[in-house]
Amino acid sequence: MTNLSWWIAAAIACCSAAVLEPAHAQTAAATLVVAARADAPDGGGTLRFQISLSNTGPAAIAVGPASTLFGWLVLTSGRDKAFFSDKIALSPATPWPAALAPGATISFPTVDATLANGYPYGQGLRIDRGYPLSASGAPATAAGRMGALLPDGRGRARWLIGVPQPEEMPPLLARSAPIEITMSSGAPSPAATNSPASTAALLLQFNRDPWSAQQAHDQAVKRGPAILPDLIAAVSEPTRPGYARLWLATAIADIPSEQAVVALTRLLDDPDAEVRCVVGYHGPKQKSPTLDRAIVAAAQAAHHARLTSYALLGFLVFRGEAPDGLLKAGLECDDPRARDAAARALATMASEQNTTRLQALLQDKDPRVRATAERVLKALRPAEKPVAQ
């Protein structure tokens, strides 16, 4: 069992136990204490908390960068139900020092874990660097959103914080005392999940690492059109990590809206080719004639071979067929990847014209394209019936 797995197990046990031990983690030189309270202990399915971290020991603790500071929420109900959340990015509301001095307290803006993915705790579950894994080592499957996992009635919550250490040392782990909460059925109020504090924390989560960005994408899409202005502003920030901008663009594409169409059309001119490819692949989800035309026009422009390939795949996956202008752009592209994608697209679009196109690709200079064309042609031809003797 990893260090973090042990801590989660201990946190769950303590949340469920009748007698609760002191809520702190001991280090060689100091004691870290997490103080946490629910914003609304009887707030239905809303899980919003005020959190702080204090050094109550006699010596300072050297810490790593705040960009690697994470927390996890543990929820329990009785002794048979326990869930823990995905890693949740924490952004200090006060300056993050190079060392936590004795008596120092770091506070955080309100943390909203309502829409975070939750995982049932069990013996087959492993935690690797804070990420939940199944017994096979594959990413664990979430049971649902944290705000909807506990049955109606009273439960307990506990926060764990992984405090980064310098020079890639394992994080110091601290936990809060159990927090009494009351859960009730029904979706959390939009005002709670779209508060400025929770939105700011969610946008910061996109920056942490690719896993966190994917989880932030899921939460943002759940919020719907109300968060689109914030997503559009964030994806335009050039200082954000590349993976953050890709997941922000994907989130915009996954929220059907004319506002999203305008933003995605603008992103087709983004300096980052990967952002353009995201729009090419996910943009067809919007089912917007305006965006469709913009994607085709971008694919037809010079030096956009990757965009053409991704757009062809996106139209096939999300719409079932690709526009003829996009097919033409792929078939005429100098890049064999685009021609290969176009050949694969023709597999779902049987017609005399497309059969002729595939036959022409049998003479392509790239062997991969020729092989794809031959395979697709064989699949499109009806099986020949045996001649009766």
| Residue 208 belongs to domain with CATH number | 1.25.10.10
With a cut of 80, say whether residue 332 has pLDDT above it.
no
SS3 297: helix
Prediction pTM value: 0.60
| Best mean pLDDT range from 40-44, 231-235, 314-318 | 231-235
Task: Provide the number of structural domains found in the chain.
Answer: 2
Contact status, residue 133 vs residue 125, Cβ threshold 8 Å: yes
Residue-wise DSSP of 129-193:
TTEEE-TTSSBPPP-EEGGGTSPSEEEEEEEEEEE--STTPPPEEEEBPPEEEEE-SSPPPHHHH
What is the Cα–Cα distance from 360 to 330, expressed in whole angstroms?
14
Quick one: pLDDT band at residue 4, thresholds 50, 70, 90?
A: very low
Residues with Cβ < 8 Å from 383, sequence gap 6 or more?
Answer: none
Q: Are residues 167 and 208 in the same domain?
A: no
Q: Quick one: 149 and 51 in the same domain?
A: yes
Same structural domain, 57 and 183: yes
Structure tokens belonging to residue 292: 């469709």
Answer whether residue 10 is part of any domain. yes
Where does a domain end: 143, 167, 187?
187
Same domain, residue pair 120 and 255:
no
- Categorize the per-residue pLDDT at 386 as very low, low, confident or very high, splitting at 50, 70 and 90: very low
Tell me, what's the pLDDT at 18? 29
Task: Provide the domain limits for residue 350.
Answer: 192-380
Tens digits of residue pLDDT in 148-185: 887 777 788 999 898 888 887 888 888 888 888 877 65
Residues 231 and 350 in one domain: yes
Q: Is 347 a domain residue?
A: yes
Can you give the CATH number for the domain in which 182 is found? Answer: 2.60.40
H or E element that contains 37: strand 31-38
Residue ending a domain, among 187, 211, 232, is 187
Answer yes or no: is 323 within a domain.
yes
Asked whether residue 265 falls in the same domain as residue 324, the answer is: yes
Contact in structure between 198 and 112 (CB atoms under 8 Å): yes
Q: Is the pLDDT of residue 196 over 60?
A: yes
Q: What is the total residue count of the chain?
A: 389
H-helix or E-strand spanning residue 89: strand 88-89
Rounded Cα–Cα distance for residues 223 and 82 (Å): 25
Q: Is the pLDDT of residue 19 over 70?
A: no
Long-range contacts of 244-247 (CB under 8 A, 24+ apart): 244/206, 244/207, 244/213, 245/272, 245/275, 246/213, 246/274, 246/275, 246/278, 247/206, 247/210, 247/213, 247/214, 247/216, 247/217
Whether 209 has a pLDDT exceeding 60, the answer reads yes
Two tokens, residue 180: 């009494």
Q: What pLDDT sits at residue 274?
A: 93
Tokens of 112: 């909203």
Token duo for residue 275: 């952002």
How many angstroms separate the CA atoms of 144 and 121, rounded?
13
pLDDT of 207 strictly over 70 = yes
Among residues 187, 207, 231, the one where a domain terminates is 187
- The answer as to whether 389 is a domain residue is no
Examine the domain organization and report whether 89 and 24 are in the same domain: yes
What pLDDT sits at residue 185? 55
> Is the pLDDT reported for residue 224 higher than 80?
yes
Same domain flag for 183 and 203 = no
Does any domain span residue 271? yes
d(CA 114, CA 128): 23
Beta bridge partners of 53: 34, 106
Residues 221 and 343 in one domain: yes
The token pair that represents 267 in the structure block: 């992103």
Q: Both 306 and 373 in a single domain?
A: yes
Burial label for 271, CB within 10 Å (0-12, 13-18, 19+), is exposed
